[in-house]
A and B are shown apart, each in its own frame.
Chain A
Amino acid sequence: HAAMANAYEAGAANLPFAMLRGYIGADLPKVNPAIRSVTCPYTGEVLATVPAIRPDVAIIHALRADRKGNVLLEGITGVQKEAVLAAQRSIITVEEIVEDFGPRSPNAVILPHWTVGAVVAIPGGAHPSYAQGYYKRDNAFYIAWDAIARERDSFLAWMETHVMQAGPEAFAARPPKVA
């Protein structure tokens, strides 16, 4: 979603709005007052704007944290780094907490501990999505989920069994380990 991606980035950059060449000829701006526009002061081009996203709290799942609380992200990182940096506070669940990250790329995506609110070790925490190098996306679950989530009762029943009554250890058991 182009506008949301830009909005998270603007939040991380502490800007009040994001700007993109977006929604041209589309109807969404007619029904969504948050979509406005700005005129380039140099070229006169009209560009769409959306308010920056600056959450109170961002909760993401990353791969590893070290003892100091620095957090390593890897794989399809999406807007996770932007979300954490745009938020007032953040909670980051990780697959594991390690003494030290050890050898890594100088370009590894790491959130310094002082940008992170709290780190929680929840192995399997991305399930049914995937964690790079730990486990794959559980596509069979996503297919089954469509039917579960279609009706309120089946959704609530699933939540009760698998979330409300289950502890974090339930997550650890769920995803198939990457070979």
Chain B
Amino acid sequence: MTMHMSPLSAVTPTEMMTIVAARALKSSDVCFVGIGAPSAACNLARLTHAPDITLIYESGTIGTEPDVLPLSIGDGDLCDTALTTVPVPEMFRYWLQGGRITIGFLGGAQIDRFANLNTTVVGSYDEPKVRLPGGGGAPEIASNCGEVFITMAMGNRAFVEKLPFITSMGHGEGGDHRARLGLRTKGPTRLITDLCVFTPDPVTKEMTVVSLHPGVTREQVQENCGWPIRFAADVVETPAATEEELAVLRALHARTKKAHGVAS
């Protein structure tokens, strides 16, 4: 099978991350969508292979189909195209906490080998080096959704040996830590980065590289990670971006830039 290189300009690592994340979704999923990379992935899936996917944003918009990527959950486009929009307390109580969300899509500033996330602070909580935006709905998304997909670009400041603060629990200290805390949800089952894909080891729950994006080497992945990475016995190569995936994604970003009045 010859590798069909799309005539469009070469896919970027960030585009690859979004495309691979979108591939992980299906029409039957009910997705709690975080702003940013998760939103791009979920809408790309909806515009390509998963047209019937249900997207839900924290502002209460259920089954929304935005034409451009929202800059915030408080964008009227999400409401205009939703099946219905519910108050925020109801969103958290009936839909998220009620267990009706199959996939929670999260990003983060920092992550560790068990896919715990930090979006609160770097340094000590009382004298932070950097105060991050905070968790928002993330801690509850991480515990209440059926499973969690994470999309994050790799880098040594983001992929760290030990988190200074756990905003949202992934697999905690590993093993059955989630179950010991009474959680029946799966937690992070996929960590999709701009270089590779991790999934949790079935027993230890340590995130393990199972797929390398085209042209990416193991050394490159390790250089961008603060802990010694585990690679699966049979690491595969992520299928290249197709023309359709790339074209639809780039059109989506172009529409978004135009709508947000940003020079493209």
Contacts and interface: CB of A to CB of B under 8 A. Distances in A.
Interface of A: 1-2, 5-6, 8-9, 20-28, 31, 45-46, 75-79, 81-82, 129-130, 132, 136-137, 139-140, 142-143
Contacts of B143: 21-22, 24-25
B259 A139 contact: yes
Contacts of B177: 25
30 contacts: A1-B137, A2-B96, A2-B97, A2-B140, A5-B89, A5-B91, A5-B93, A6-B93, A8-B89, A21-B143, A26-B168, A27-B165, A27-B167, A45-B182, A76-B76, A76-B79, A77-B85, A77-B87, A78-B60, A129-B74, A130-B75, A137-B75, A137-B76, A137-B77, A139-B72, A139-B260, A139-B261, A140-B260, A142-B72, A143-B261
A1 B136 contact: yes
B78 interface: yes
Number of chain B interface residues as a range: 35 or more
Contacts of A45: 182
B251 interface: no
Interface of B: 59-61, 71-79, 85, 87-89, 91-93, 96-97, 116, 120, 125-126, 135-137, 139-140, 143-144, 165-169, 172, 177-178, 181-183, 259-262
B138 to A, nearest CB: 9
A27 to B, nearest CB: 5
Contacts of B262: 140, 143
B160 to A, nearest CB: 15
A76 B74 CA distance: 7
B193 to A, nearest CB: 22
Contact of B79 (A1, A27, A132): A132
Contact of B140 (A22, A132, A139): A22
Contacts of B144: 21
A129 B143 CA distance: 30
B60 A139 contact: no
B71 A25 contact: no
A75 B143 CA distance: 28
Question: For B78, B92, B259, which residue has the most chain A Cβ atoms within 10 angstroms?
Answer: B92
Given A137-B77, A140-B260, 19 more contacts: A1-B137, A2-B97, A5-B89, A6-B92, A6-B93, A24-B181, A25-B172, A25-B181, A27-B165, A27-B166, A27-B167, A31-B126, A75-B85, A78-B87, A79-B89, A82-B87, A136-B76, A136-B77, A140-B261
Contacts of A132: 76, 79
Contacts of B135: 1, 26, 28
A22 B61 CA distance: 21
B88 A143 contact: no
A55 B79 CA distance: 28
Contacts of A5: 88-89, 91-93
Nearest to B75: A137
A130 B135 CA distance: 24
A76 to B, nearest CB: 5
CB-CB nearest 3 A-B residue pairs: A25-B169, A140-B261, A2-B140
Given A2-B139, A5-B88, A139-B260, A78 B74 contact: yes
A37 to B, nearest CB: 12
